[in-house]
Amino acid sequence: MKITVDHDKCCASGQCAMLAPDVFEQRADDGLAMVLHAEPAPSLYGAVREAAAYCPTAAIQVEE
């Protein structure tokens, strides 16, 4: 799995950081999503998929 975030789409809702805090964080200066682990451990795949599904602007891309 490989994860990217389109910052042009991100609205800084923080859903991803709440749902998958081991993978996503919000930048301090503007609140946009930041990927901590672009290729997370398999144990985190479910949380990553959930974060991508709940992103209000579909800014998270997951490549499996």
Domain 2-63 in this protein, CATH class:
alpha beta
The pLDDT of residue 50: 98
Which backbone phi and psi does 56 adopt, to 5 degrees?
Answer: -65, -20
The pLDDT of residue 23: 98
Output the 3-class SS for 21-43: CCCEEECCCCCCEEECCCCCCHH
The pLDDT of residue 34: 97
Using one digit for the tens of pLDDT, what is the confidence trace for 3-45?
999 999 999 999 999 999 999 999 999 999 999 999 999 999 9
